[in-house]
Structure 1
């Protein structure tokens, strides 16, 4: 089951890049640097070399589809306002604004009627939001995305960026997908990244980055962001490989780590460069062991941060 906005993907296009190209792009990209270096292997849309087994990884428990958190403890950071404080340090990203969109909300499951409300995504109507997926042991995707978002915010602020979160555990549900897009637009973001983890079949491994398709209809017009978003997504994919040791998805994107979709409101309604990243498959035990590892989540945040920096400095 795909957790991002709950709509099955359209038929995939032939692969445009080989997985090896992602690494080449990473190594040749301007500003490509920093971060923990590992072997090779991303998440929900690619697989390649076997992932390292982090010492901190925990093994998923018996099958239990419930999204209720029972895995690693949620972040202890106090809730803060969505519009985070401006960066106070000087660095390579000074003057840049990055919006981080943690997928779903841990309390969406308590507000099923509210998140089922239909919203306009330009070309059609879809649910306000969804609950997301979880590991078999109950570690919720929404807990994962908030944790990675917090780590990513710290890394970007340390480089001088102004960082805005679409939400930070400060609301009972949502935001809806259309509001998530508007937050990035209103901030005038130089880049927006929506953080997710997939919920697919066992054996489907790896990460993938979702790019906006060329869409025009209603309030949706992605014509100005398709090119920049592909550049952003390609750089993130290449640097995610290097930082995490993960491989591109073996079930989406033809081993490129890239997937283009036109059914996601968060992309359709964006007027600034934006991508989604599915960091791994929560329903595969091997991927789940990575996703539940605090050490690996730090590497994931580093890979995303490196990709953003490469794009903004490129």
Structure 2
């Protein structure tokens, strides 16, 4: 009984592989090690977190390669985390999102359908809520007014997965992640950008003049939610469900920066900027549905979760960060 994890060298993917292997699962991963950010960080992450896991280099658009892999390992369950991430980058390189998040997602759906996969758990995003939702964001709210192409592709994934559940009975669960952070995180996201800048004495850009609130969620809480969802597929006639995975406690951006500065032992130099296209002013997860379905209960506040991120940045990137 093999669990296939896509995006296994990614931030959430490597921690997920670690957790699955730790509990005794047979795990195999795939990743294309693209250069959206430094592939060496991905390789170092794998070496640190899940060196025992076999991770194949493969792209989601390689239909023949994916089919061969499925025929070789015959996964019983799939955790599909591979995607082109990032809101702002989707404004610069839209085709990367179409290839990975749309074409690649259909490839995974088809393989899961035809190879008898028992449960597909896939990554969605809090970005799907766009302009139409009001905090706290509930899974019952509309997601048809996205602010970025990235968000649009994730909303499309949910629609496609629902269609496959309805037509073919494919058990699928979508997880809307809310601003995940932790050591070995993505270098394009605020936790690492801010930590590295403060450590190096560089100014940080604070968008929307600092008037932003984010539901920052520690990677350990996210991984607990992924495993919980994986273990509880839907038994409904149309076996597709979507869950929020967030901390349910939005944090003011200024407070977030303050915690980083305290951990770094030096003040943050802030340069205030207007709102960036595609960004959201506030995110906040209603997690009642995930709590009821599989006991999801995040336990890590930023005061406990951020200092290890700052320490990891200092160790990994050096004094200059």
Same fold (TM over 0.5): no
Larger helix fraction of residues: 2
Report the TM-score when normalising by structure 1.
Answer: 0.30
Larger RCO (CA under 8 A, 6+ residues apart): 1
Q: Which of structures 1 and 2 has the bigger CA Rg?
A: 2
TM-score by length of 2: 0.30
